[in-house]
Structures are given as structure tokens and as C-alpha cells.
Structure 1
Amino acid sequence: MPDNIALFATIVLLLPMFYLLLAAPAFLLVRLDIVPVTRLLRGMFDSYFIALAIAGGIGTLAVLADGRPALGLGIGLIAGFALLSRRWFLERMDARIRDRDSGDVTAVRRLRWLHWGGMLSNAIQVGAVLASIPQIAAVS
């Protein structure tokens, strides 16, 4: 029988990742020089990082309590990466928004590249977590 706590922790970790995976591409269809659009994009990434860090922290504690330190380390690394990425990412996004608002014509393009980078980072993490599910679900 598979380890239900480990699978549950993994699924909960995937929820914010899938949210961003599905929601972020919609912003490719709109212009980022529209103030409400960039506010919404920034809020989406901010919420994603917070939700991922919380889900990862809870998942880490759950699998550690269940006696799976290697999995706990992996989930903890994802949570830690989310916390560190949040600050780095939002600082750069805020700088690009300020540049755009001050008239820099290249700021929107740099903001778009940041958006692409956030989506790529999330897709890589989703792939890594999905690839680890067979090992997590294996009979202990």
C-alpha cells in the first residue's frame, strides 16, 4: 500500500504549482503596459510563492513526522526556493514596473521576459515533482 501521507503532501504541493501553470499563460494574451494587468500579474506571482511556501512547509513537517526524511528534504527545498524566489522575483518585477511607469520603452519587454522566466521555473518544478511521484507511491 502506498504511503498516503507522502502522496497527500505531494498533491497539496502540486496545487499552487498547477494554479500558476494554468493561470500564468493567460497573461501572454494581454499587454503588460496596462497598470491593472501588471498589478494582477504581480499579485498572482506573490500569491503563488506564498501558497507554495506554506504548502511546502506543511508537507515537509507531515512527511518528516511520517519518517520520510529524504522526501521531507525535497519538499523543504521547494518551499525554501519559493521563499527565496518570491523576494528576488517581486523585487525585479517592481523594478520593471517602475521603469515602465517612468517611461522606459524596454521595461515592458523585460517584464514579459520575467513573466516567461517565472512560468518556466514553475514548469520545471512541476515536472520534477511529477517525475518523483512513482518513487513516492512505491510500496515501502
Structure 2
Amino acid sequence: MTPDGVAVAVMVILLFPMGYFTLASPAFLLVKLDIQPVAQLLRGMFNVHFLVMRVAGVIGTVAFLLDGRPLAALGAGMIAALAIWGRRRFMQRLDDQLSASDAGDTEAPRRLRRLHWSGMLCNAVLLAALLASIPYIATSA
């Protein structure tokens, strides 16, 4: 595979789960998060997103390293590290709000909604950064 082919393949591997999450997550803005099955589905979506981004980031890092692009590998590695570290922290906060909601805290769904917005915002920022890096990655060899 040509160097540009490797870059394109890695970018697709990274962009696909981020793009899917960008399209799927706003649907939860249309429903109430105080409904337990909806909140659990939101939790599952975030959990899977973090796991997929971890795998995609590691694959991207290894591919860029094997292709001799250490700076691009650093960027993909940062995405993987954020997915690994962020999952633990974000899912703990999400679980805390779900437990608070089960315990009768009427403000928990509002805090859960803020977490939802923050997760969507973080994904959007990473997606924009990844899209902005395409011209630099595709032309460097």
C-alpha cells in the first residue's frame, strides 16, 4: 500500500466511528433521559464508542508507526489514550448519574443530559481536528 493509501486507510478507520457517533448521538436529545431504558441505551452507546475508538486509535497508531510517520502516530495515539482514559472517567460519571436517578434524584436526568452534551462536544472537537489534519497527513510521506 502506498504511503498515501495508508494515511487514507487510517483516516477512514478513525473517522468511521466518530462519524457514526456524531450522527447517532443527537437522537437522544429528542427523548427524556429519566426513562431508564433510554438512559441505559445512551450509556451503552457511549461505552461502545469509547471501546471502538480505543481499538481504532491503537490500529491507527501502529499503522502510522509502521509507515514511518511518528507525528501522525502521536496524534492517533492521543486519540487512543483519550478513549482509554476518558472512558473510565466518563462512564463513572454516567453511572453515578444513573444511580442517582434510580435513587430518586430529580436533578440526575439534567446532569445526565449535560454529560451527553459534553460527550458530543468532545467527539465533535476531535472529529474537526481529525478532518483538519487530513491535508497534512495525506501529503507527508
User: Structure 1 residues 28 and 90 mapped into 2: Cα distance closer, same or farther (>3 Å)?
Assistant: same
TM-score (norm 1): 0.97
Deviation at 1:137, TM superposition (A): 1.3
Q: Which secondary structure state, in structure 2, belongs to the residue aligned with residue 31 of structure 1?
A: coil
Whether contact under 8 Å (1:9, 1:59) holds in the other structure is yes
Whether contact under 8 Å (1:2, 1:138) holds in the other structure is no
Distance 1:110 1:139 in 2: 43
Unmatched 5+ residue regions in structure 1?
Answer: none
* Higher relative contact order (Cα pairs below 8 Å, separated by 6+ residues): 1
Q: What is aligned with 1:60?
A: 61
Q: Does 1:24 align with 2:7?
A: no
After TM superposition, what 4+ stretches of structure 1 lie above 6 angstroms from structure 2?
none
Unmatched 5+ residue regions in structure 2?
Answer: none
Distance 1:59 1:139 in 2: 16
Q: What is aligned with 2:42?
A: 41
CA RMSD of aligned residues (A): 1.1
Q: Which amino acid aligns with 2:12?
A: I
Whether contact under 8 Å (2:3, 2:67) holds in the other structure is no
Distance 2:132 2:39 in 1: 33
TM-score (norm 2): 0.96
How many residues align structurally? 140
